[in-house]
Amino acid sequence: MNNCEVNNHVHTVYSFSPYTPTDAISKAKEAHLSAVGIMDHDSVAGIKEMLSAGEKYDMPVTCGFEIRVNFSDTPFENRLINAPGMPNIAYIALHGVRESALDECNAFLHPISIEREKRNIEMTERANSLLTPFGIKYIDYFKDVKSLSMADCGGSVTERHLLLAISNALIEKNGYGEKLVDFLVNQLHLTIPTKKEGYLLDKDNPHYIYDLLGVLKTDFLDTIFVQPNEKECINVKLLPEFADKIGAILVYAYLGDVDESPTGDKKAEKFEDEYLEEFVKHIKQIGFHGITYMPPRNTKKQLEFISQLAKKNELMEISGVDINSSRQSFNCPEILFPQFAHLLTATWALIGHESVKIDDGLFSENATQKYPSLTERINYFASVGKEKRG
């Protein structure tokens, strides 16, 4: 099992996904993964269930959460980094989060959630102003959007929850199929690629709601989007201290210039590639531990370059394909290519890291003194993780 596929970036219902943490473990088993990681937006509420289900079903688990930060007061202020439509904002992840750190994580994330809700409410009202003139029902944020989330149990409410509520309202008005597609194209003036149009014309499509949501995310969200403020997306320079405090591994989520999105909800667009070398050097200087990327998403040239930069700057490389739609596969066969063998090792190192005390973790002073070489240290923690697996 140690040489099977892994996926360290699975979203659950505690941010946005068809899957509970237990479902995610089940899907990982079906996909014959050797390990799986939970990575929810702005929430750690699913971690306990994920760990419990992993133990019950004999599936090794690694844990973390994802947030957006601002790059104000850095050389990359107001640049488009890795967040579509959000200059100055970047997605980052904290891997290797232990169960013992959940209270501290919740306290850290709580004010972010408060700010995010204010923005969600404003976007809901923007959507209503555009849709109600067409006879689409008024969307109440609390009854129709927040209710779709796990917010009452510590989960986050994301833009996708709002788009799901809008999708439900559009279907209620137009039904499935041709009438809905006609409304999207001729009333909302959305551009729907032929493949996606085929999905929406198929009334028996089992992924219908996620396909509709994807179309709205690509070509409608911009019309209602409200830029997050610096209370919701805190400054990137505040993260290294918090990560070190809880013993987490702080990583940048590499996106790269996009030609076609694997999830079908990102436009072709240029991101951080043109200044990537300078950027990676900077995040290393401010205290990042690694870079996470998705092998199926990028070109061979992009993958080779980001891996080269990670090695040059002594940053850990972590893989993961974000799962938030029923159409997506838990499998990532690319991870088994010889050039990605180190990513399998990194997953086991995460598992090993989470099994030891904070003071002995992968980037702790104790570990770096004992194993000054990052590669040697990762290999050691991978052996700890595999030993734990048995």
Question: What pLDDT, on a 0 to 100 scale, did the predictor assign at position 57?
Answer: 96
Residues 101 and 248: their CA atoms lie apart, in Å, by 9
Q: What is the pLDDT of residue 2?
A: 52
Q: Per residue in 53-70, pLDDT tens?
A: 999 999 999 999 999 999
| CB neighbour list of residue 221: distance below 8 Å, 6 or more residues apart | 85, 159, 163
Place of tokens 């076609």: 260
pLDDT in tens, 280-339: 999 999 999 999 999 998 999 999 999 999 999 999 999 999 999 999 999 989 999 999
- CB within 8 Å of 333: residues ≥ 6 apart: 5
The model's confidence at residue 389, banded by pLDDT at 50, 70 and 90, is: confident
What span, in angstroms and rounded, lies between the C-alpha atoms of 190 and 203?
Answer: 20
Do 130 and 224 touch, CB atoms closer than 8 A? yes
* DSSP annotation string for 190-255: ----HHHHHHHH-TT-TTHHHHHHHHHHHHTHHHH-----TTTS-BGGGHHHHHHHHT-EEEEE--
Q: Quote the DSSP letter at residue 141.
A: I
Token pair for 299: 């070109």
Alpha carbons 240 and 96: distance in angstroms, whole number: 14
Q: CB of 60 within 8 A of CB of 35? A: yes
d(CA 142, CA 18): 20
Of 342, 341, 320, 343, nearest in space to 332 by CA: 320
Q: Is the pLDDT score of 265 beyond 50?
A: no
Per-residue pLDDT at 384? 97
Burial string for 268-280 (b: 16+ CB within 10 Å, else e) reads: eeebbbeebeebb
Q: What is the pTM of this model?
A: 0.94
Return d(Cα 283, Cα 40) in angstroms, integer.
22
The answer to whether 62 and 34 are in contact (CB under 8 A) is: no
Q: What is the mean pLDDT of the chain?
A: 95
Neighbours of 167 (CB within 10 A): 21
- Coil, helix or strand for 379? helix
Residue 43 contacts residue 105 (beta carbons within 8 Å): no
218-249 pLDDT, tens digit per residue, is 999 999 999 999 999 999 999 999 999 999 99
Strands 61-70 and 89-95: antiparallel
Distance CA 110, CA 130 (A): 31
**Local structure of residue 136 (DSSP, 8 states):** P
Q: What's the token pair of residue 93? A: 């992840």
Instruction: Annotate 331-376 with DSSP letters as a single string.
Output: --GGGGSGGGHHHHHHHHHHHHHHTS-GGGSTTSHHHHHH--SHHH
